[in-house]
């Protein structure tokens, strides 16, 4: 839980302000889950602070919420393509991915349960970035990540806009994003290393190595 709040501080997600009298303040809760591998063995314990987004009011607390998500069929096609062309796929995920996405609306949330500020008990947090549970959070994260990839000379696919490709003369690097999980493959080994460094420089990453298990596949 403390590690999660350290992510908030590092990403400058919020700032403490007096409780507004004319604005909804959204509650927060902790969510715990275990991440398992293909054998059902727990490989990581995950904790998230989540906003109670069901209290948000459309037009006041959020506007656009749509965000593209890769279809399982598209991911299976990528697996088949990689196999046919004999190149490896690797996996990484972004730690607290939604905390990287900026929001334009004014959103206020309560103190995390168990971490109330005794010096300012009547203050709340005003968000500058998205928080898990907010209706606009997935869209804000996708816009942040896709903008970063395009800035680094990736091209967004016209059919599947969660697929990005970067060409290097006779080689290429392909990146498929599924919310905060990222699959990438290359036709030249040096491209993999440079992409991992590029992502780690911008985001805090879990580099999970060669892909063996993904979304039940």
Separation of CA 36 from chain center: 19
186 is a domain residue: yes
Radius of gyration of the chain (CA): 19
61 is a domain residue: no
145 is a domain residue: yes
Structure tokens at 47: 């904790």
Contacts of 50 (CB under 8 A, 6+ apart): 28, 29, 30, 31, 131, 132, 133
Residues 29-52 pLDDT 10s: 999 988 777 778 888 788 889 888
Which residue, among 176, 169, 160, 173, has the nearest Cα to 214 in the 3D structure?
176
217 is a domain residue: no
216 is a domain residue: no
Q: How many separate domains does the chain show?
A: 1
Q: What is the spatial distance between Cα 33 and Cα 91, in angstroms, rounded to a whole number?
A: 20
164 is a domain residue: yes
* DSSP 8-class letter at 62: B
Residues 137-169 pLDDT 10s: 888 888 889 999 999 999 998 888 899 999 887
Contacts of 80 (CB under 8 A, 6+ apart): none
Average pLDDT of every residue of the chain: 84
Range of the domain at 124: 2-55+67-210
- For the chain, which ranges sit under pLDDT 70? 54-67
């Amino acid at each position: 839980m403390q590690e999660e709040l350290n992510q908030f501080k590092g990403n400058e997600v919020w700032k403490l302000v007096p409780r507004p009298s004319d604005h909804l303040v959204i509650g927060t809760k902790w969510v715990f889950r275990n991440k398992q591998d293909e054998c059902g063995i727990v490989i990581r314990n995950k904790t998230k602070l989540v906003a109670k987004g069901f209290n948000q009011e459309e037009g006041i607390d959020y506007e656009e919420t749509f965000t593209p998500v890769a279809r399982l069929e598209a991911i299976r096609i990528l697996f088949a393509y990689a196999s046919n062309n004999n190149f490896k796929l690797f996996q990484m995920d972004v730690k607290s991915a939604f905390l990287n996405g900026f929001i334009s609306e004014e959103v206020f949330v309560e103190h995390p349960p168990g971490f109330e500020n005794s010096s300012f008990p009547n203050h709340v947090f005003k968000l500058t970035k998205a928080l898990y549970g907010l209706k606009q959070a997935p869209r804000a994260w996708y816009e942040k990540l896709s903008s970063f990839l395009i800035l680094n000379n990736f091209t967004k696919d016209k059919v599947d806009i969660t697929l990005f490709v970067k060409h290097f003369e006779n080689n290429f690097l392909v990146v498929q994003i599924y919310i905060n999980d990222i699959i990438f493959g290359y036709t030249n080994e040096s491209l993999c290393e440079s992409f991992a460094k590029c992502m780690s420089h911008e985001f805090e990453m879990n580099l999970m190595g060669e892909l063996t298990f993904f979304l039940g596949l």
